[in-house]
Amino acid sequence: MTTANVVVRYEPRGAARELFHSRQSEIAMAGPAGTGKSLACLYRVHFAALNSPGIRCLIARKTAVSLGSTTLVTFEKKVATEAIASGIVRWYGGSAREAACYRYSNGSVIVVGGLDKPEKVLSSEYDLIFIDEATELTETDWETLGTRLRNGKLSWQQQIAACNPAHPTHWIKQRADRGGMVMLHSRHRDNPAYINADGSLTEQGRDYMAKLDALTGVRRLRLRDGVWAAAEGLIYEGWDDTLHVIDPFTIPDQWTRWLTIDFGFTNPFCAQWWAEDGDGRLYLYREIYRTRRLVEDHAKHILKLVTDDDGEWTEPRPRAVICDHDAEDRATLERHLGMSTSPAKKTVSDGIQAVQSRLKRAADGRPRLSLVRGALVERDPELEDAKRPTCTEEEITGYVWAVKPGGVLKEEPVKENDHGMDALRYMVAERDLGGRPRMRWLG
């Protein structure tokens, strides 16, 4: 069987059409949510693999978990469906020597992986690289990937990024502005699933655009309108994802552990695991951020993440479980966890100031608070579908001061998409504004 047996139907429009005709070495497909950016890039890689025997391509994201739950699902269900069903494309799960990949019958290969586990991904050479959600990367990540574009089977080597706009000083926009990469501006009219050829919305498009129209603030500007925008009245102006988001590392057992909880059901329940090093720095290294689960089910999930099949803890127990003040939820959590909880210090103004202080660089150039990349243990599909934050990291750049009539900022945050922000503030307030808690275990 050959690749000629496969019929692939795809209608590229606008920026997607430009992508298929471009031979530029670096391209960013940027635009609002739902414009078909990732789909176009996946088709670009798939078509190249079908039509160019023996090439090597890479599809990647910052973390392998996020790649498998999003990008590769789209690839298999919407892009390579017929090729996989016919046997022209086969999945290979990887080995100690070789990365996971899609193998084509003509000898082409599409390697897949996360940059959180770069050994196999960066050990090979490629003709074509596609990075989804590229705003998650650092510019160093991007440039390192560029050094692997030297397989030489295609007459042109290309590195493609797909992303929603972020803040206007993000390295992707800055790189494009100075001519280091070509930015293609994807728009909703480019997506035939949502916009008909005459410009009218499809039924699916009406539903999707209604979700985007409901967004507010900077999330609306970025995800609805496609603007590289900074949030007005941003609370944590010192936040820098290239500084405060760090790669996973082995946490020493002697470091103190903490667990902070912000309760929710319709709104997200947020549980954050923190490690404190010997110098008092805090690291958020694991997170549950999930809607529509009971507290008792969250408690079971928490224990599953920290114990083995015999119920033995696989990491140091938290020094304290610091919670929102809901008495009923706290009692339920204590009963099912088998440990006591401490009420959080919930004063907002001094808590925010304490967080702001920790975000500053210390004398050694490092901040006193960091988020470990990939801390989220599972993505909430309902939140993802609604284009709401799915973890603490995604809340930070939209966490803003409320505004009084006349445009004057209040000294309090907008109470929206702040569940991770509350849990984070509880942790910092406990260490910097409160006393040391007393912990007891319930038998």
Whether 397 has a pLDDT exceeding 50, the answer reads yes
| Amino acid type, 352 | I
Same domain, 154 and 259: no
Whether 439 has a pLDDT exceeding 50, the answer reads no
116 pLDDT band, cuts 50/70/90, is confident
Euclidean distance between CA atoms 272 and 434, whole angstroms? 18
pLDDT on residue 1: 38
Question: 406-411, long-range: CB within 8 Å, 24+ apart, which pairs?
Answer: 409/233, 411/349
Task: Give the domain extent around 135.
Answer: 3-213
**How far does the chain reach from its first CA to its final CA, in angstroms?**
64
Q: What is the pLDDT of residues 365-375, one digit of tens each?
A: 999 999 998 89
Domain boundary among 172, 194, 213: 213
Q: What is the pLDDT of residues 300-313, one digit of tens each?
A: 999 999 999 999 99
Burial 83-92 (b: 16+ CB within 10 A, else e): bbeeebbeee
pLDDT on residue 150: 94
Q: Is residue 233 part of a domain?
A: no
Q: Within 10 Å of residue 120's Cβ, how many Cβ atoms?
A: 17
Q: Mind giving me the DSSP string for 355-368?
A: HHHHHS--TTS--S
> What are the φ and ψ backbone dihedral angles of 175, each rounded to 5 degrees?
-65, -40
Q: What is the pLDDT of residues 241-298, one digit of tens each?
A: 889 999 899 999 999 999 999 999 999 999 999 999 999 999 999 999 999 999 999 9
Same domain, 9 and 116: yes
pTM over 0.85: no
- Asked if residue 270 lies in contact with residue 287, where contact means CB atoms within 8 angstroms, the answer is yes
The three-state secondary structure class of 342 is: strand
The token duo for 258 is 């903490």
The closest of 353, 411, 328, 110 to 236, measured between CA atoms, is 353
pLDDT on residue 437: 46
pLDDT on residue 117: 81
Q: What is the pLDDT of residues 64-73, one digit of tens each?
A: 888 988 899 9
Euclidean distance between CA atoms 278 and 300, whole angstroms? 30
Same domain, 183 and 252: no
Same domain, 276 and 175: no
β-partners of residue 91 are: 102
Same domain, 199 and 251: no
Strand (E) or helix (H) holding 427: helix 419-432
Mean pLDDT of the chain: 92
Same domain, 77 and 178: yes
If one counts the domains in the chain, the total is 2
pLDDT on residue 98: 85
Same domain, 10 and 135: yes
Strand (E) or helix (H) holding 289: strand 282-290
All residues at 6 or more sequence positions from 10 whose CB lies less than 8 Å from its CB, including other chains: 43
CATH number for the domain harbouring residue 193: 3.40.50.300
pLDDT on residue 411: 81
Dump strand ranges (E) for 312-387.
321-323, 342-343, 369-372
Mean pLDDT of 331-345: 96
CATH number for the domain harbouring residue 276: 3.30.420.280
Q: Within 10 Å of residue 406's Cβ, how many Cβ atoms?
A: 5
Angle between helices 37-51 and 14-21 (to 10 degrees): 30
Sign of CA dihedral 224, 229, 232, 238: positive
Looking at the chain, the whole-number percentage of residues with pLDDT higher than 70 is 96
Same domain, 171 and 250: no
All residues at 6 or more sequence positions from 169 whose CB lies less than 8 Å from its CB, including other chains: 230
Q: What is the pLDDT of residues 204-249, one digit of tens each?
A: 999 999 999 999 889 999 999 999 998 888 999 999 888 999 989 9
Same domain, 202 and 255: no
Q: Is residue 63 part of a domain?
A: yes
Euclidean distance between CA atoms 39 and 71, whole angstroms? 9
Q: How far is CA 200 from CA 193, 206, 208, 311, 351, in A?
A: 11, 9, 13, 57, 48
All residues at 6 or more sequence positions from 224 whose CB lies less than 8 Å from its CB, including other chains: 32, 33, 212, 213, 215
Domain boundary among 213, 232, 257: 213
Whether 423 has a pLDDT exceeding 70, the answer reads yes
Q: Within 10 Å of residue 205's Cβ, how many Cβ atoms?
A: 18
- Asked if residue 333 lies in contact with residue 323, where contact means CB atoms within 8 angstroms, the answer is yes
Ramachandran class of 185: left when φ > 0, alpha when ψ lies in -120 to 50, beta otherwise: beta
- Asked if residue 31 lies in contact with residue 187, where contact means CB atoms within 8 angstroms, the answer is yes
Whether 441 has a pLDDT exceeding 50, the answer reads no
Ranking 15-19, 158-162, 186-190, 406-410 by mean pLDDT, the lowest is: 406-410
Q: What is the pLDDT of residues 135-194, one digit of tens each?
A: 999 999 999 999 999 999 999 999 999 999 999 989 999 999 999 999 999 999 999 999
The closest of 114, 98, 122 to 59, measured between CA atoms, is 114
Q: Is residue 98 part of a domain?
A: yes
Q: Is residue 219 part of a domain?
A: no
- Asked if residue 283 lies in contact with residue 370, where contact means CB atoms within 8 angstroms, the answer is yes
